Amino acid sequence: MNRMLYGGAVAFFSFIALSGCSKPAGEKVGSVDLVTTTDTVSYLIGIDIARSLREVKDDIVLDIVFAGVRDRLAGSERRFPPEAERVIMEAFSMQMQQKQMAKSETEAAKNLKEAKDFLEENGKKPGVVTTESGLQYIVLKEGDGPIPPDSSKVKVHYEGTLLNGKVFDSSIRRGEPSIFTTHQVIAGWTEALKLMKVGSKFKLFVPPDLAYGRRGMAHDIRPNMLLIFEIELLGIEK
């Protein structure tokens, strides 16, 4: 847990300790009554801090956190000198990083196996074409326009989903086509666009190594995830 996170947690618990007092029964939220504006703000700050603490929730004891807050607010003698506190928190931060790396490795291996298993079965289905790179696609509509030359700028409509069906990106839902050059996208797209005539619509099944690979991308696209896209090539821009 870094200094900013630690500082935010302390600020939150200090706020609760200073503003909390006995209230008459009011609106019930979970195990607390929200009566005043301070109650509500305190609760919302708690929700916000909880998001920051989610990754370390199994490695801290909230009762002891409160004990530390109370000791500090009461002016009790410090149990550790400032330098020792820094060393302890840096060691804890390193421990959390190692734990997260191990979790990420497990997740990446699981996603890679799911991708391979899916592609193996999907490649047997009628209409699915598998290229030498491992990209799979289905021609949903064959266009009659030109094929984009290398590094050309194209206009497309698309929707991207995960294996579980969740949509993670969609120009269709935004109601506005996307324009980009063919070499500025993931390798699976670059390869597919060189197979498409303007007016075509393809469904792509992009292996992890032709998508975002081990690193993943943003929140939804985890390490080694296979991605599915429907892409319609609307035109080639000048």
Q: How many domains does the chain have?
A: 2
Same domain, 68 and 126: no
**What is the chain's mean pLDDT, rounded?**
86
Q: How far apart are CA 71 and CA 78, in angstroms?
A: 8
Residue 234: per-residue pLDDT:
97
Kindly report the pTM of this predicted structure. Answer: 0.65
Same domain, 153 and 232: yes
Instruction: Please identify, among 59, 79, 99, the residue that sits at the C-terminal boundary of a domain.
Output: 79
In the set 45, 168, 172, 180, the catalytic residue is: 168
Same domain, 154 and 223: yes
Active site annotation includes 212: yes
In a domain, 88, yes or no: no
Residue 65: strand pairing partners: none
In a domain, 67, yes or no: yes
Same domain, 141 and 232: yes
Residue 21: per-residue pLDDT:
40
In the set 39, 212, 228, 231, the catalytic residue is: 212
For position 195, which CATH number holds?
3.10.50.40
Active site annotation includes 158: yes
DSSP per-residue codes, the chain: --HHHHHHHHHHHHHHHHH-----S-EEETTEEE-SHHHHHHHHHHHHHHHHHGGGGGG--HHHHHHHHHHHHTTPPPSS-HHHHHHHHHHHHHHHHHHHHHHHHHHHHHHHHHHHHHHHHHTTSTT-EE-TTS-EEEEEE---SPPPPTT-EEEEEEEEE-TT--EEEEHHHHTS-EEEETTSS-HHHHHHHTTPPTT-EEEEEE-GGGTTGGG-BTTTB-TT--EEEEEEEEEEE-
Instruction: Please identify, among 79, 95, 123, the residue that sits at the C-terminal boundary of a domain.
Output: 79
If pLDDT is split at 50, 70 and 90, which confidence band does 30 have? low
Say yes or no to pLDDT of 189 above 80: yes
In a domain, 169, yes or no: yes
What is the percent of the chain where pLDDT is above 70?
87
For residues 108 and 48, the model is more confident at: 108
Say yes or no to pLDDT of 226 above 70: yes
Same domain, 74 and 121: no
Residue 50: per-residue pLDDT:
77
In a domain, 97, yes or no: no
In the set 6, 186, 220, 236, the catalytic residue is: 186
Same domain, 157 and 217: yes
Residue 19: per-residue pLDDT:
43
What does the block give as tokens for 57?
Answer: 């929730």
Tens digit of each residue's pLDDT (9 = 90 or more) over 130-154: 999 999 999 999 999 999 998 899 9
Same domain, 59 and 127: no
Say yes or no to pLDDT of 10 above 50: no
Same domain, 208 and 140: yes
Active site annotation includes 168: yes
Domain that holds residue 34: 3-79
The stretch 10-27 carries a mean pLDDT of 45
In a domain, 85, yes or no: no
In a domain, 233, yes or no: yes
Say yes or no to pLDDT of 191 above 70: yes
Residue 150: per-residue pLDDT:
87
The number of beta carbons lying within 10 Å of the beta carbon of residue 168 is 15
Residue 162: per-residue pLDDT:
96
Instruction: Please identify, among 79, 102, 136, the residue that sits at the C-terminal boundary of a domain.
Output: 79
The number of beta carbons lying within 10 Å of the beta carbon of residue 86 is 12
In the set 13, 49, 137, 169, the catalytic residue is: 169
Say yes or no to pLDDT of 229 above 70: yes
Same domain, 21 and 75: yes
Active site annotation includes 6: no
Same domain, 74 and 139: no
Same domain, 118 and 166: yes
If pLDDT is split at 50, 70 and 90, which confidence band does 161 have? very high
The stretch 175-188 carries a mean pLDDT of 94
In a domain, 92, yes or no: no
N- to C-terminal Cα distance for the chain? Answer: 50
In a domain, 209, yes or no: yes
Residue 1: per-residue pLDDT:
43
Same domain, 66 and 8: yes
Lowest mean pLDDT among 19-28, 82-91, 106-115, 175-184: 19-28
